[in-house]
């Protein structure tokens, strides 16, 4: 096995500049630090994910700022003068409570409650639109907090056990395997309920991802290089509640949401118990008085502002693009097949009303497609066309700033990986060959690959 890896890399080196006939898998070093095109922000501080794109018009910037205030706002149960409408059951009191610094959440430390992570639930089968089948009394998400006087839907705890392995050079490693327990359900939780733990992902650059044409994404699904290597992904198709039609899914960890408007309105509804004209029903039973009141808690104007806020968050510029180790790491990233799924470069189309995200050359390191990641990462809970083993390739831009923005380096859908190396080692299924190739790299090559990821 080791010989195969060496040969592949030797080949890569021998081909030199002639390789890039198939862009996704064999790109030249991306010395372009402008990861978000014109939406790139020069900030590598704890605010790196919270900056508007520098190319916003004054009018768009004003809307962004108005939406920012709502994104940060702490909501309280109605009636209240300011920010009413929270609950009665919810997972957090603000968008920023989970997407801290517009970045990512994490699983709780020992003794802590879940805060920036949520649990989707469903029964086997699908609803009228092909989406997950709601659990009576629970819907499709466990609300782990509740207003005074009510009990939360359930209590969830996580414990970890160790799983060890070794790199080809003999260096050992240990991964942590999560185990979840759901106790104290407020009503009977049916046997066989499917549970999907999900950490809040970063919120920047999403307007650019929304602007990538559908045709680009579907073409990546049939990219010959990915097909030949057996790692081609497929798009999700989901119900677009605002448009009232089926659309290509891009957002959510299983590409289970089509647009930022749907994603934002669904977050208000399911994560905070705040209704809007798009999702006017509280995520709880009608026997609770607050639930019977179906007047939207949040106006369309404010929903629009928060959606535009998320749409116009810029992408931090890369650091150290000229560093030789980083460039070597980037070659390895392409050489061992990471770039087949984490596609380095995409071109956005034209979005009416959002000139700042239109016609941008971006480096998100995602194909926005679903991939089978093997049994180790499986949640066993289908979500539209995503099976219980599939996840959307997450964008890797900005990932090297996670520690600075969020104070941790917990990665993957449930935050089980404690650093980038563990995130790679968990790749199974279609990602297994790349993870195996990573295990066969020398220590200095592994470090170069990580240095590259940290430059994003």
**Does 363 participate in binding ligand HEC (rule CB under 6 A)?**
no
Interface segment toward ligand HEC; rule CB under 6 A; list 54-62, 76-84, 172-180, 338-346:
338-346
Find out whether 432 and 425 touch, Cβ atoms under 8 Å.
no
Q: Of residues 368-387, which lie at the interface with ligand HEC (CB under 6 A)? A: 371, 373, 377
Rule CB under 6 A: say whether 235 interacts with ligand HEC: no
- Of 175, 231, 238, 317, which lies in the binding site for ligand HEC, with binding defined by CB under 6 A? 231
Report the greatest alpha carbon distance in the chain: 71
Report residue 11 as tokens.
Answer: 């080949």
Q: Please, what is the minimum distance in Å from the beta carbon of residue 210 to ligand HEC?
A: 9
Q: How many CB atoms lie within 10 A of CB 51?
A: 21
Tell me if 194 contacts ligand HEC by CB under 6 A.
Answer: no
d(CA 377, CA 198): 12
Reading the block at residue 377, the tokens are 């990462």
Residue with tokens 């900005």: 398
> Contact 356/55 with Cβ under 8 angstroms?
yes
Q: Nearest distance from residue 153's CB to ligand HEC, in Å?
A: 13
Instruction: Judge contact between 25 and 337, C-beta under 8 A.
Output: yes
CB of 365 to ligand HEC, least distance (A): 8
- Would you give the binding string for ligand HEC spanning residues 57-96, x where CB under 6 A is met? --------------x-------------------xx--x-
The distance in angstroms from the start CA to the end CA of the chain is 30
What CA–CA distance (Å, rounded) separates 334 from 314?
26
User: What residues between 244 and 283 interact with ligand HEC by CB under 6 A?
Assistant: 251-254, 256, 260, 263-264, 267-268, 271-272
How many Cα atoms within 13 Å fall on the side-chain side of residue 205? Answer: 29
Q: Are 72 and 166 within 8 A, CB to CB?
A: no
Do you find a cis peptide bond into 88, omega within 30 degrees of 0?
Answer: yes
Task: State the number of CA atoms in the 13 A half-sphere of 321 facing the CB.
Answer: 12
Residue span binding ligand HEC (CB under 6 A) among the ranges 6-14, 193-201, 210-218, 319-327: 193-201
Residue 206 touching ligand HEC (CB under 6 A): yes
What does the per-residue mask of binding to ligand HEC show for 343-362, with x meaning CB under 6 A?
Answer: --------------------
Question: CA-CA distance, 315 to 342, in Å (whole number)?
Answer: 17
Binding letters toward ligand HEC, positions 415-444, x by CB under 6 A? -----x--xx--x--xx--xx--x------
Residue 317 vs 417, nearer CB to ligand HEC: 417
Q: Does 412 bind ligand HEC (CB under 6 A)?
A: yes
- Which residues have C-beta within 8 Å of that of residue 44, sequence separation ≥ 6? 316, 317, 319, 401, 404
Of 58 and 216, the one with the shorter C-beta distance to ligand HEC is 216
Where on the chain is the footprint of ligand HEC (CB under 6 A)?
Answer: 71, 91-92, 95, 97-99, 116, 118, 198-201, 203, 206, 231, 251-254, 256, 260, 263-264, 267-268, 271-272, 306, 310, 333, 336-338, 340-342, 371, 373, 377, 391, 393-394, 396, 411-413, 420, 423-424, 427, 430-431, 434-435, 438, 453
């Amino acid at each position: 096995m080791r010989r195969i890896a060496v040969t592949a890399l030797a080949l890569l080196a021998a081909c030199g500049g002639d390789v890039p006939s198939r862009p996704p898998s064999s790109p030249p070093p991306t010395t372009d630090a402008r990861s978000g095109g014109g939406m790139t922000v020069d900030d590598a501080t704890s605010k790196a994910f919270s900056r508007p794109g520098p190319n916003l018009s004054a009018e768009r910037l004003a809307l962004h700022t108005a939406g920012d205030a709502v994104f940060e706002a702490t909501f309280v149960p109605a009636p209240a003068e300011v920010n009413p409408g929270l609950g009665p059951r919810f997972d957090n009191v603000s968008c920023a409570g989970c997407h801290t610094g517009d970045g990512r959440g994490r699983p709780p430390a020992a003794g802590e409650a879940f805060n920036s992570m949520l649990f989707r639930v469903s029964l086997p089968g699908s609803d009228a639109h092909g989406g997950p089948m709601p659990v009576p009394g629970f819907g499709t998400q466990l609300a782990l907090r509740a207003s005074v006087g009510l009990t939360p839907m359930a209590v969830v705890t996580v414990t970890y056990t160790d799983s060890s392995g070794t790199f080809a050079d003999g260096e050992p490693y240990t991964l942590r395997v999560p185990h979840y327990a759901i106790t104290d359900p407020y009503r009977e939780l049916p046997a066989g309920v499917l549970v999907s733990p999900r950490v809040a992902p970063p919120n920047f650059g999403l307007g650019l991802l929304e602007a990538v044409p559908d045709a680009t994404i579907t073409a990546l699904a049939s990219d010959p290089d990915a097909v030949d290597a057996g790692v081609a992904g497929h798009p999700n198709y989901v119900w677009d509640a605002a448009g009232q039609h089926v659309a290509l899914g891009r957002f959510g960890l299983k590409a289970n949401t089509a647009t930022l408007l749907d994603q934002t309105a669904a977050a208000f509804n399911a994560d905070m118990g705040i209704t809007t004209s798009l999702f006017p029903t509280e995520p709880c039973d009608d026997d609770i008085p607050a639930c019977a009141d179906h007047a939207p808690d949040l106006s369309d104007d404010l929903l629009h502002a928060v959606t535009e806020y998320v749409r116009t968050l810029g992408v931090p510029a890369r650091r150290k693009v000229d560093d030789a180790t980083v460039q070597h790491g980037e070659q390895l990233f392409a050489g061992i097949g990471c770039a087949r799924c984490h596609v380095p470069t995409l071109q956005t189309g034209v979005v009416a009303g959002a000139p700042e995200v239109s016609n941008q050359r971006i480096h998100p390191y995602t194909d926005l497609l679903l991939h089978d990641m093997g049994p180790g990462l499986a949640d066993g809970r289908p979500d539209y066309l995503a099976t219980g083993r599939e996840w959307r390739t997450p964008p890797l831009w900005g990932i090297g700033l996670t520690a600075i923005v969020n104070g941790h380096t917990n990665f993957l859908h449930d935050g089980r990986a404690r650093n980038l190396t563990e995130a790679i080692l968990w790749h199974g299924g279609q990602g297994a060959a790349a993870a195996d190739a990573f295990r066969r790299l020398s220590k200095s090559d592994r470090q170069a690959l990580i240095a590259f990821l940290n430059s994003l």
